Amino acid sequence: MNEGNYKTVKQYLGVELLKYSLNYPENIKWDASATELNLKDIQKYALGVLLDTTTKARIQFINEGGFGDGFAFVIDRYSIGDENIFTYCRKLCGGAIPYSTNEDALLSFVEKIAIREYPNLLLTIINNPFASRFNLNMTNRQEQDEFIKLVKGDTLNKLTNSQENLDYCFMFETTNKLSFSRQVCLACDIIISRAFQNCCNKMAYAIDDLLKEINNSINSLRSLSKNEEAIFSMFIGVQGVVFDKINSIDLSNCVFRALDSRGNPGTHSNSILTTHSEEGVSFISGGVIEIKYTTKVEHLGGNCGPALSQQLFLFANQCFENIRFALCFSLNEDYSFPHKFIENGFPLVMLGNYHPFGDYPKKYLKIAPGSIVDFKYWYQALSTVDRKHIQVPLARLKYAIYERDTPEDSIVDAIIAWESIFSSRTDTTRHVTNSIARFLKQENERAPFLRKLKNFYGLRSDLVHGRKNELSKEDREQIRSETIRIGLECLKKLISEPDLLKLKPEERVKKIMPTPNRVNMFFEYLRNKF
């Protein structure tokens, strides 16, 4: 097989399905050539079979009136004997096919379907916005009837409406307002496809990982049926973060994982990938945050509600904001990364039912081993702090860092954040700037820092009132960075001082600034002037 044919097969099947079909024991790098793989003759023959089948499937899809290059909707019909083409090639290359040994009848049934369909789950769609393999039709009518029979004999039946045939549905609402009305005949396919997508978001999608996820999914549903709490996951995909020699970071209620490779077959997880080149070395950026949540059934009976309730969305977004601020604190950064999607990993949520976002990173942040301890500390601090005392400065710094398009708007928001930490009803500028100078700097460093703060305040006044200034674009970017970082430093120190944190802004000013007398005011005037 020549190099061009190999690239064609790799492009259409993806490296993970190629690895499975060729029984290739090592990871296949996306940029590896056919020569570098050092394939055996039988593997080269199998590659030829895959190329021929892919070509036929592409032509068949077009002949059937398909739009685009949706060969993936056709190729899973191809088989040799009783086996699909990928399993046939794997056996041809000496690979073993897993089999279920589970004594639990329901789990064994679902595992057998998942094992059979695993190659089709690996089949990714590259560069085709019109094609989507969400929620494959993995079971036929006979298998759907068998699944219904197994559910009726299982504790899962308590989560249903106890109807028959197509009217037999899972119907319940959880304590965090997830509502379901899902036909049981379709649930087997949904559980498997959702489990696979969860695996891809966790960067662990080998067949053993899939079977483990399916077991966890069904047993968690069983816990709900017994009126017990169960743990599920939400996933947030982010761009703009580079993991340096780190695969994952465990936090108190979530895990932040680096995107593993360009070959990740997950539809959503692969959408966040960005390829970079630095000094001739190619690397990728992107990550997925897995957030754990607990729930139980609030009442039986439900409807086809959204995949993510407002309650869960707010919870996920709060965890995400804590991660972003924790990184800004630990890396001393005034930019951060956006999210690209939020999806619920609940077993009965269909794929494709998720919340996409369209922002792009303005800067790529690098997380190195040396920053992890600080990152974990600040995430825990932000997760446990009483947020009512810092809600306004957090919101304003969030606007300044993530949401403003111009440095001028970011500067205004950053200084409003200062005012929400230290302010008074009279002489706001003096009280805010003097409080920040005393709060952040030693006495011998205060005078020049105070002058800078007052200059920033003057710029803010110009911006708010529409007065022109002669600052260059570079100067404005620099001031944006400085005003945001000053706000972040104030927040960091404030969170670390509980007695000061719980005070109102004007009470903090009184605590930090001593009661003035005429002598003190005169000497302070001289220091600031000269």
**Sequence spans of domains, the chain:** 1-97, 98-372, 387-529
Can you give the pLDDT at residue 11?
A: 86
SS3 assignment, position 506 = helix
Give the span between the Cα atoms of 215 and 195, in whole angstroms: 9
Token pair of 131 as six digits = 């094609």
Query: Strand locations in 239-364, DSSP E?
Result: 241-243, 248-250, 254-258, 274-278, 281-285, 287-295, 297-300, 339-344, 355-356
Residue 516 vs residues 434, 510, 520, 527: alpha-carbon distances, Å: 12, 10, 6, 15
For the chain, what's the residue count? 530
Can you give the pLDDT at residue 128?
A: 41
Give the span between the Cα atoms of 66 and 516, in whole angstroms: 80
Strands 169-174 and 179-183: antiparallel
What angle, rounded to 10 degrees, do the helices at 41-63 and 85-92 form? 170
Q: How many helices (H) and strands (E) in the chain?
A: 20, 15
Given phi > 0 = left and psi -120 to 50 = alpha, else beta, which region is 7?
Answer: alpha
The stretches of 332-365 forming alpha helices (DSSP H) are none
Can you give the pLDDT at residue 526?
A: 56
Question: Taking a C-beta distance cutoff of 8 angstroms, is the pair 285, 241 a contact?
Answer: yes
DSSP letter, residue 206: S
Can you give the pLDDT at residue 279?
A: 75
Strands 230-238 and 339-344: antiparallel
3-state DSSP percent of the chain in helix, strand and coil, to 5: 55, 15, 35
Give the span between the Cα atoms of 177 and 359, in whole angstroms: 28
Question: Taking a C-beta distance cutoff of 8 angstroms, is the pair 415, 457 a contact?
Answer: yes
Give me the residues paired with residue 249 across strands: 256
Give me the residues paired with residue 367 across strands: 243
Can you give the pLDDT at residue 527?
A: 58
pLDDT (tens, 9 = 90+) of the chain, 530 residues, equals 688 889 889 888 889 999 999 999 888 888 888 889 999 999 999 999 999 998 898 888 888 887 766 777 788 778 888 888 999 999 999 999 888 889 999 999 999 999 999 998 998 654 443 344 555 678 899 999 999 999 999 999 999 999 999 999 999 999 999 999 999 999 999 999 999 999 999 999 999 999 999 999 999 999 999 999 999 999 999 998 999 999 999 998 999 999 988 788 888 888 888 888 777 777 889 999 999 999 999 999 988 888 889 999 999 999 999 999 999 999 999 998 888 899 999 999 988 777 777 777 888 899 999 999 999 999 999 999 998 999 999 999 999 998 898 999 999 999 999 999 998 777 788 899 999 999 999 999 999 999 999 999 889 888 888 777 778 888 999 999 999 999 999 999 999 999 999 999 999 999 998 765 444 555 555 555 55
Give me the residues paired with residue 292 across strands: 233
H or E stretch covering 369: none
Can you give the pLDDT at residue 270?
A: 81
Can you give the pLDDT at residue 130?
A: 38
Give the span between the Cα atoms of 360 and 402, in whole angstroms: 10
Can you give the pLDDT at residue 401?
A: 93
